[in-house]
Amino acid sequence: MRTLLSRFCEEFDSVVRPVLEPLDRLSKKLGEASQQVLDLQLLPHLRDARMHIETLADKVREQQAYVIIFGPLKSGKSTLMNAVSAAYVSEVTSLPAYPCMVYVSHSETPEFVVRRFNGRIDRPADPASLHMLVNRAHKELADRLREVETKGEDFDPARHLPEAVQRIDVKLPAGHLDSSGAVLVDTPGLYSRMKFGYDRMTREFRNSAACAIFVVKSDNLFLEQVFEEFNQLLELFSRIFLVVNLDTSKVDLKADGSLEPSLESSDPLRLIEAFENLAMSAPLKEAAEEGRLRIYPVDLLRAASERLKGGESHTETMAGHEGQASFDGFLDDLTEYLNSTEYLVAFLGDSLRQATTFLTEVGDLCGAEASTRLRERVRELQAREEKEKARLQAVKRLASHDWVADFQGMEAGLDTPILEHARGADESSAESMRAAFDEWFGSNASLQSLLGESLIPVLKESRKQVAGFVRQTLEERVATGQAGILVPAGIGRDLTTSGIHLAELGEKAMAAVADDPGREPIDLPLRGSEIPVRKRLVDWLLFRSRATVCRRLFGPDNRPNFPLPKQLKAKRLGGGVRQAMLESLETFRARFGTETLDRSRARIVREYVDAVTSALRFRFEAEEELLGEALTELRGELKESLDVLAHLNAAQTASAQALREIAELSESYGETDPALLSKPTEDRILLEDVILTPAKPGAGHVAVEPTAVEPASSEIAPETD
Question: 65: closest CA among 104, 15, 111, 14?
Answer: 104
Q: Is the pLDDT at 335 greater than 60, yes or no?
A: yes
Separation in Å, CA 680 to CA 4, 321, 343, 352, 366: 7, 42, 18, 22, 40
Going by pLDDT thresholds of 50, 70 and 90, the confidence category of residue 655 is very high
Q: Is the pLDDT at 290 greater than 90, yes or no?
A: no
Separation in Å, CA 676 to CA 26, 434, 513, 671: 40, 132, 99, 11
Burial of 428 (0-12, 13-18, 19+ CB in 10 A): middle
533-553 mean pLDDT: 85
Query: How much is the pLDDT for 39?
Result: 58
Going by pLDDT thresholds of 50, 70 and 90, the confidence category of residue 596 is confident
Going by pLDDT thresholds of 50, 70 and 90, the confidence category of residue 697 is very low
Q: Do residues 27 and 47 touch, judged by C-beta distance below 8 A?
A: yes
DSSP 513-563: S-----------S--GGGS-PPPPHHHHHTT--HHHHHHHHH--TT-----
CA separation for the pair 693, 699 (Å, rounded): 10
Q: Is the pLDDT at 506 greater than 80, yes or no?
A: yes
Starting at the edge strand found earlier in the chain, the sheet holding 211-217 runs 121-122, 111-116, 165-172, 101-106, 182-186, 65-70, 211-217, 240-245, 293-298
Q: What is the pLDDT of residues 412-434, one digit of tens each?
A: 777 777 777 777 778 888 899 99
Domains of the chain by start residue, with CATH: 64-106+175-339 (3.40.50.300), 399-627 (no CATH)
Q: Is the pLDDT at 709 greater than 70, yes or no?
A: no
Q: Is the pLDDT at 200 greater than 60, yes or no?
A: no
Q: What is the pLDDT of residues 614-649, one digit of tens each?
A: 999 999 999 999 999 999 999 988 998 899 889 989
Mean pLDDT score of the chain, rounded to an integer?
82
Going by pLDDT thresholds of 50, 70 and 90, the confidence category of residue 21 is very high
Query: How much is the pLDDT for 271?
Result: 86
Query: How much is the pLDDT for 207?
Result: 46
Q: Is the pLDDT at 48 greater than 50, yes or no?
A: yes
Q: Tell me the whole-structure pTM to 2 decimals.
A: 0.64
Query: How much is the pLDDT for 500?
Result: 92
Going by pLDDT thresholds of 50, 70 and 90, the confidence category of residue 190 is low
